[in-house]
Chain A
Amino acid sequence: MTDSAVPKSRIRKQSLLKQIMTMPAGAILLVFVTLQIACIVGALAYPDDFRYLSPQNLTILMKAIPVLGCLALGAGILMIAGEFDLSIGSVYTFTAILMATLVNADVSAFIAAPLGILTGVLIGLLNGTITLRFGLPSFIVTLGGLLFWRGAVLLYNGAVQVRFDPEPIFTSLFAGTFLGVNAAFIWIILFVVGFYLLLHRHKFGNHVFATGGNRPAATAIGINTDRVKLVAFAIAGGMAAVAGIIATARVGSVQPGQGAGLELQAIAACVIGGLSLSGGRGSIIGIFLGVMLIHTITDVLLLLRAPGFYLDMFIATLIVVAAAFNHLIERRGAA
């Protein structure tokens, strides 16, 4: 290969595309960029019919992404560690209602919000402890969690919505605008950077990949895989609560039914982003691109005035195609 200089550049070009495709988030990056270019071209060509680039639309996108983003980041780390959490949608609602009622009882939002996150972390730890202590599939344990905390919301609060009236500074911190950018969007960018450093640049991240990728190997080399998984469960629970805070600060109230189905959307975002269902594979950038892709497609279909059920059908197709594609890459990697 080194002695023939002429075809070298061609080989490198091919391998660059191949490299992008085999990167954990490479394929989704290509899809995302292509979709963005198509949307921008469409919006420039038909500014009146397809208002993708209008400030209102961009603001809606920036407000919608952080909530699913937080849920997906937590669920994603846990998936890479080799476990699932189906309860995050219910935990998201439960902790938000807890926070809102505390604020209504004259507790400062700056105390109520950390208490909400702490509750999310504790629920995550409980899921993890039950899963690991009894050697159960986390799918089943957290399915129980999903129903339990959904029920707990109704028991604690009933089916009525709760108003959330915090100090104005709290609202502007999580739902205001900073330099023209939505505050929640800045938060999610910070979380993405933080999670990137944790998962891809920190010792803990290496242990997460090792635990999910080959648990016996990780144990044999001296990694405490139970502790890694437990921390991942705690992160998933905590991030569900963070998502609840961001959503509640934006809307100003909590609906008891608002979290239903979000856990599946979060897992869908992870799968679209290139995470393996069996653990050990994936990237933070992939998760975030998965979230943005779901919201971009939803947004485009809304702008095209497609009926609501198209959204579900489109996302569903995307999930299955993404999963099939990931499986193909995995099988090739294992060969």
Chain B
Amino acid sequence: MMSSSHLLELHNISKSYGALTALSDLNFHVGHSEVVGLLGDNGAGKSTTVNLISGIQKPTTGHLTIDGEKTMFTCRSDSADAGIETIYQNTALVDSLSITRNIFMGRERVNAFGFLKQTEMREIAMEVLEKAVHISGIDSPDKLVGDLSGGQKQAVAIARAVFFKRRVLLLDEPTSALSVRETEALLAQVLKLKAENVSSVLVTHNLYHAYQVCDRFVIMSHGTKVFDVKKADTTISQLTEYVVLT
């Protein structure tokens, strides 16, 4: 296995909060154009892993590699620069701002004095929503995000990732508040992005959703990896067994 060619790789990552060990010696990788399901029960360390990859938290020991190059994210914008976008269930959007302002939040298009190029941002938002993300009901980029449904919010978050040319999407429990139809649309979106060479890490409780789209599964328990298997080599009942029993 040519490990240096992996898009994203975690090497011997440990993370402790005082006496509590959240992660111990975690290793796994994400390949190019690959959808990885990161599974595990509550408290397995999935959220901590997401936070580490997106740079919100720092590992106690261990490091990441991007394209085989050793790196260490110290803040969110580091991981954004490396092409990683995290899509959270509830926390990544501001309800009281418009779709356009959410898409460009923290990465505003501005002139030399820091003033917003509103027309330009609005046009881009409109285009991204129309072309890249096909979730119905969003007719204007000026709509407040607070007025959108759960699926539409996810769509806005994904639109943000698509526009900023991300290489890896981290989806943290993306389906837990979505309707059945919205879930289908979201999973289809993940596959579409894969075809466009964007990898995804799907963090979820729901094995069925994961099984639908993932190429490979990483199962975590008590802060470390207990199982790593390609979809072709496993069944949903075997995955369930690992999540429940380890």
Which residues of A are interface residues toward B (Cβ below 8 A)? Answer: 197, 201-204, 206-207, 209-210, 213-214, 216-223, 276, 280-281, 333-334
Additional 14 contacts, C-beta under 8 A, given A203-B115, A209-B97, A214-B93: A201-B116, A207-B106, A210-B106, A213-B95, A213-B97, A214-B91, A217-B88, A217-B105, A219-B76, A220-B54, A221-B107, A222-B80, A222-B106, A334-B95
Contact A333:B95 (CB < 8 A) given known A202-B115, A203-B116, A206-B108: yes
Which residues of B are interface residues toward A (Cβ below 8 A)? Answer: 54, 56, 75-77, 80, 86, 88, 91-97, 101, 104-108, 110, 114-116, 118, 144, 146-147
Q: By the criterion CB–CB under 8 Å, are B95 and A214 in contact?
A: yes
Chain A residues with Cβ below 8 Å from B75 are 222
Q: By the criterion CB–CB under 8 Å, are B96 and A209 in contact?
A: yes
Q: By the criterion CB–CB under 8 Å, are B91 and A210 in contact?
A: no
Contact A334:B97 (CB < 8 A) given known A216-B91, A218-B106: no
Chain B residues with Cβ below 8 Å from A222 are 75-77, 80, 106-107
Roughly how many angstroms separate A276 CA and B118 CA in the complex, as a whole number?
A: 24
Q: By the criterion CB–CB under 8 Å, are A203 and B105 in contact?
A: no
Roughly how many angstroms separate A333 CA and B145 CA in the complex, as a whole number?
A: 9
Looking at A203, A210, A218, A281, the one whose CB has the most chain B CB atoms below 10 A away is: A203
Chain A residues with Cβ below 8 Å from B86 are 220
- The contact of A204 among B76, B91, B114, B147, by CB within 8 Å, is B114
Q: By the criterion CB–CB under 8 Å, are B116 and A221 in contact?
A: no
Chain B residues with Cβ below 8 Å from A206 are 97, 101, 104-105, 108, 116
Q: By the criterion CB–CB under 8 Å, are A221 and B92 in contact?
A: yes
Chain A residues with Cβ below 8 Å from B76 are 219-222
Closest Cβ–Cβ distance, residue B227 to chain A (whole Å): 29
The prevalent SS among residues of B at the interface is: loop
Chain B residues with Cβ below 8 Å from A203 are 108, 110, 114-116
Q: By the criterion CB–CB under 8 Å, are A217 and B93 in contact?
A: yes
Roughly how many angstroms separate A277 CA and B97 CA in the complex, as a whole number?
A: 16
Roughly how many angstroms separate A213 CA and B56 CA in the complex, as a whole number?
A: 19
Contact A220:B114 (CB < 8 A) given known A207-B106, A210-B97: no
Roughly how many angstroms separate A204 CA and B110 CA in the complex, as a whole number?
A: 11
Closest Cβ–Cβ distance, residue A331 to chain B (whole Å): 10
Roughly how many angstroms separate A42 CA and B206 CA in the complex, as a whole number?
A: 67
Roughly how many angstroms separate A202 CA and B111 CA in the complex, as a whole number?
A: 9
Chain A residues with Cβ below 8 Å from B118 are 201
Closest Cβ–Cβ distance, residue A277 to chain B (whole Å): 13
Closest Cβ–Cβ distance, residue A113 to chain B (whole Å): 26
Chain B residues with Cβ below 8 Å from A213 are 94-97
Q: By the criterion CB–CB under 8 Å, are B96 and A201 in contact?
A: no
In the complex, the chain B residue whose C-beta lies closest to that of A197 is: B115
Q: By the criterion CB–CB under 8 Å, are A219 and B114 in contact?
A: no
Roughly how many angstroms separate A314 CA and B60 CA in the complex, as a whole number?
A: 59
Contact A280:B96 (CB < 8 A) given known A203-B114, A333-B144: yes
Roughly how many angstroms separate A218 CA and B86 CA in the complex, as a whole number?
A: 13
Q: By the criterion CB–CB under 8 Å, are B56 and A220 in contact?
A: yes
Q: By the criterion CB–CB under 8 Å, are A220 and B94 in contact?
A: no
Q: By the criterion CB–CB under 8 Å, are A214 and B94 in contact?
A: yes
Q: By the criterion CB–CB under 8 Å, are B105 and A333 in contact?
A: no
Roughly how many angstroms separate A262 CA and B40 CA in the complex, as a whole number?
A: 55
